A and B are shown apart, each in its own frame.
Chain A
Amino acid sequence: MDKSESRLHYRPAGQTLRKRTSEYANKIFHYVLLISLSFVFMYPILYLISRSMMQPADLADATVVWIPKELSFSNFINVFAELKYTETFTRSVMNSLVPAMIQTFTCAIVGYGFARYTFPGRGILLALVLFTFLVPPQTIVVPLFILFNQFDWINSYLAFWIPAILCQGLRGSLFVLIYIQFFRGLPGQLEEAARIDGANAFRTFSRIMFPLARPAMLVVFLFSLVWHWNDMFQPGLFILDTTKFNLTQQLSVIYGLGEQELTLGMGGSTAGMIGVVPSQGNRIMAGALLTILPMLILYLFTQRYFVESVERAGIAGD
């Protein structure tokens, strides 16, 4: 501040004015850019909200673009039952919240081992962690399914829990890498002090190092939870019993039913003209909104941590 004021003394008045206007123009341009881009980023959620409130009449009405004529939650009420929300929600929690919590804990242990210990074969094992992250899941689909079938884990939560305990599962190796990066950044004196005070390796970890890893834990937990929640690949593979479907699967089911209803009932095109398609579509949009609602609420409260902890946990290392 002081600096710029002192400059004013030896600068012609015109120049500072020009400089100031260009600064303002720059700022305005910056905001315009940001706001228009954020519209693009908000678009899916705005679209979902708007469409899920609409009734067939609104879609036929050309004057309605975003805001429906009357406020009605009937789509939500209908789809809530169709989704069997309370049941499927519980199942989604069981196969996303639980593995997320497990991964947060177990990947920390492994990450700590890699970050703070040197042992023969460490380099190769580390390379294998990265390798695991890079292998497309498509490649091991078949043997994994056969293996889980042998263990009788198909249609059971164990298919999600056991791999999580062993640091595999959905992107487990990425989480290990995040912890490695984080623990590497902590000073070594912490452990030395604990050792001198007589704590063994495991006590040092559980009492000192693990609690210190809170920023990394937050990143891992939140990402694991969101990715598990939205994942369709694993549930599609391991949960085949339709009575055991989770939210995302059930959403696909009602979508499929809607299609069937339409093609069976009347020709698709006439249905479209009468406005049955849109009403079904709106219900599905309401269903989609209900499916991600828990994550949206979570994000609303943890948004800060999501963003800041990624920066603080130092994922962006080498």
Chain B
Amino acid sequence: MKFRLSMRIRHFLEGYIFISLWVIGFSAFMAIPLGRSLYYAFHELNVTSDGLKATYVGWKHFQEAFTIDVKFPSRLISTITSLFLEVPLILIFAIFIAMLLNRQFIGRGIFRGIFFLPVIVSSGAVLQRLQSDGGDSLPIFSQYNLFDVLRNVIPPEILRPLLDVLDSLTVVMWDSGVQILIFLAGLQAISVQLYEAAKCDGATPWESFWKITFPLLMPMILVNTLFSIVNSFTKRDNLVMEYIQSVFKLSKFGYASALGWIYFIIIFAIIGAVFYIFRNKMSERG
């Protein structure tokens, strides 16, 4: 018995076979858990002798998260604000460094290596230890008593957070290794002739950055924005993550799932907004 499949069907089948591994993995470790966690979010889970017992509680967990729980809303807000603060900073910083590295100069390879070093060093446990030892930020700003010097000029209520942000800039910089590389790759794909033509027409470097570099980097900016957002979920100092894990360790499974879903919805709203903005920006240029 021999099947004769048409070329088309055969092509489909081969494709499905190649991706089958992922389809199984997606269903087992993403789709089903996602569905289950939604189910748990509306249930109270109790560990009994014959496994987990779920009783329906409706929106109770979601209401609790915002009304009774004192820690969650504040942690959520601070996580989201730091996301909004850090992602643009990372992007600006990464473009800046990538442009510095994009020139031809002696020792370029070494510098590229250095700028990527924090990706290896300062993720996870090591940075946590550094943090607890006070080695997580360069003491440039606090060291020289800038606070005392500037106190007379700028009101302390503004100055203190400002200096804190500047000090935490170093951590932001260390988070931008991968983004620098992606921008660098994007910059190298831009043909030099474009800049030469612009120069002949009398464009200043500033103008040619905004008219050539920036629009052509748009896809990389989107990629990097997404990557930075995703990176911030799994960062060691993500307060929401820590909190959900601590709730989870207390065996409040239903509540932890509900918190997970609240976070998920907010993150997806942000990502959706990012996609929307970029789509408009990119279609403007046609």
Contact = CB atoms under 8 A, between A and B. Distances in A.
Given A41-B174, A143-B33, A134 B230 contact: yes
Contact of A255 (B114, B129, B253): B129
A117 B219 contact: no
Count chain A CB atoms within 10 A of each CB in B22, B260, B267 and give the residue with the most: B22
Contacts of A232: 124-125, 128, 236
B182 to A, nearest CB: 5
Nearest to B11: A117
Interface string A7-35: 00000000000000000000100110110
Contact of B28 (A51, A166, A310): A166
Interface in B9-30: 11-12, 14-19, 21-26, 28-30
A188 B74 CA distance: 53
B71 interface: no
A-side binding surface: helix, strand, loop or mixed? helix
A153 to B, nearest CB: 11
B226 interface: yes
A73 interface: no
Interface string A192-215: 000000000110010000000000
Interface in B96-148: 97, 100-101, 103, 105, 109, 111-130, 132-133, 135-136, 138
B15 A122 contact: yes
Interface stretch (B84-92, B150-158, B207-215, B239-247): B239-247
Chain B interface size range: 35 or more
Contact of A145 (B112, B133, B248): B248
Interface in A42-98: 42-45, 47-48, 51
Interface in A275-318: 281, 284-285, 287-288, 291-292, 295-296, 299, 303-304, 306-307, 310-311, 314-318
24 contacts: A38-B114, A42-B114, A43-B170, A110-B18, A110-B19, A113-B18, A119-B16, A136-B233, A137-B241, A138-B240, A138-B245, A139-B264, A140-B29, A143-B36, A201-B14, A251-B125, A281-B133, A285-B133, A285-B135, A292-B120, A307-B113, A307-B181, A311-B185, A316-B219
Interface of B: 11-12, 14-19, 21-26, 28-30, 32-34, 36-37, 40, 52, 97, 100-101, 103, 105, 109, 111-130, 132-133, 135-136, 138, 170, 173-174, 178, 181-186, 188-189, 219-220, 223, 226, 229-230, 233-234, 236, 240-241, 244-245, 248, 253, 256-257, 259-261, 263-264, 267-268, 271
Interface of A: 27, 30-31, 33-34, 37-38, 40-45, 47-48, 51, 106, 109-110, 112-114, 116-120, 122, 125, 128-129, 132-147, 163, 165-169, 172, 176, 201-202, 205, 226-227, 230-233, 236-237, 247-249, 251-252, 255, 281, 284-285, 287-288, 291-292, 295-296, 299, 303-304, 306-307, 310-311, 314-318
